[in-house]
Amino acid sequence: MKNPLNNATLIWDGVAPVIPTELYPTNAECGDPAEEHLWACAQVEKANQFQGTALERLCEIAGRACYDSFGKGRASAAYHAHLIEVNHGSVWEHGVVTIHLRFAPRDAMDVMLAFLNRPGVWLEPVDDGTRLTINLRAVREWAQFSRTAFALNLGNFIKHLVYAFAPKIVQAASYTFHHGLSGTIVAPRVDEEKWVTLLLTGSRGFSHELVRHKYRTAVSQRSTRYVDESESPWVHHPLVLDHFATEAVHLASNSEGTALSLGERVRHTGDVARGVYTETVARLESALAAKIGDKFTARKQARGAARGYLGNALYTEVVFSASVAQWKRMLKQRASAAADAEIRDVFCEALGVLKRSRYADDFASYNLVPSSDGLGSHLGEEGL
């Protein structure tokens, strides 16, 4: 049985970033979902958030997903300044550009050495230079991995090209004109240059499996230190839901049963965990605030301590960016028949989103078939 909390939603495929409904602020007083969404959009607009270039808005979505802060807190300009202040560099990895760099043949070795062992880049040599796909963190932190004057100057030239696409993130830079060096931002054309960002939702257990996919990805996850989890649901595994349904039918036909069902015990466990979490946060926050005189720090530390008593089934949200090539690699592993049913559910949802994205043609051969275990679907032989 599918859990609706296991889901995937498109944020970005190179056209314009979109805030998923799951990330908007909520208002229980609104009468219906449409009314609530209008209210939520008004809060974001009133707070002067989601402003700037497409890449800046994408990085803002990733950052605010971590802190559940859409419609709350800083406006966009101040928010980006704060990310720079606290060096929240992982958020910038979601923003990716492709540059066609042209240079004289005599400079080819210096250019290649400038990119050697540098994180966040992918190169495709072409006749008159190279195509460089690079994320904003690699652009911003270029100097940390440069050893020569040529490399530093090349980095400043790249910053000069990228600045217009993310001025709140990438510093303006002056560079020394180098004969034969030129470049332009270009549209992606191969799978390693095409990037797609999705919001993936599910349990913390599901998200822990995502850490294995670090290659050519960017990940920003809801923080249990900054976000109050006292009302967050538990995401039941598909096999558990399937058993609940079978168990309910069995109990209905057996009126003599008096012991608590598994479903009732699971729900009771969730209620107890949330209660322990809430009480632990309240007590630890109060005690630490009295000791250090800083309520904000006390709240973070208390939530960080109390989260250990929440279940691995706790709901979470992950902004996940990857190249089309990497999405294909992950789908073959995580949407396969052998994959765990929960992560398989999420990646089957992700496939549906990818097949409706700007890069739908790249996933045309990927199709789903019913799983033999009766728990959802998996990738068919054509995709494998």
The CATH architecture assigned to 7-91+194-227+314-379 reads 2-Layer Sandwich (3.30)
Q: Name the token pair of 42.
A: 């008004």
Please answer whether residues 320 and 206 qualify as being in contact, where contact means their C-beta atoms are separated by less than 8 angstroms: no
Q: Which residue has the tokens 């789908």?
A: 331
What's residue 219's pLDDT? 97
First-residue to last-residue Cα distance in the chain = 24
Contacts of 381 (CB under 8 A, 6+ apart): none
What's residue 292's pLDDT? 94
What's residue 173's pLDDT? 87
What's residue 251's pLDDT? 54
What's residue 273's pLDDT? 95
Least Cα distance to 220 among 322, 329, 297 occurs for 322
- Residue 149: CB atoms within 10 A of its CB come to 10
Give dist(CA 370, CA 380) in Å, integer: 9
Model confidence pTM above 0.85: yes
pLDDT mean by block of 10 residues, the chain; 384 residues: 91 96 87 87 95 98 96 96 94 98 92 94 93 97 92 95 97 84 96 98 94 91 94 92 76 56 87 95 96 94 95 96 97 95 96 97 96 93 65
What's residue 383's pLDDT? 59
What's residue 261's pLDDT? 82
Query: Domain spans of the chain?
Result: 7-91+194-227+314-379, 95-186, 238-309
> Do 7-91+194-227+314-379 and 95-186 share a fold?
yes
Strands 7-12 and 315-323: unpaired
Q: Which residue has the tokens 């709140």?
A: 168
The CATH architecture assigned to 95-186 reads 2-Layer Sandwich (3.30)
Give dist(CA 289, CA 355) in Å, integer: 50
Least Cα distance to 166 among 84, 269, 54 occurs for 54
What's residue 225's pLDDT? 94
Instruction: Judge residue 116's burial from the number of C-beta atoms within 10 Å of its C-beta, 0-12 exposed, 13-18 middle, 19 or more buried.
Output: exposed
Please answer whether residues 355 and 366 qualify as being in contact, where contact means their C-beta atoms are separated by less than 8 angstroms: yes
Q: Name the token pair of 143.
A: 């100097």
What's residue 211's pLDDT? 87
What's residue 263's pLDDT? 83
Q: Is 321 helix (H, G, I), strand (E, B) or coil?
A: strand
What's residue 262's pLDDT? 82
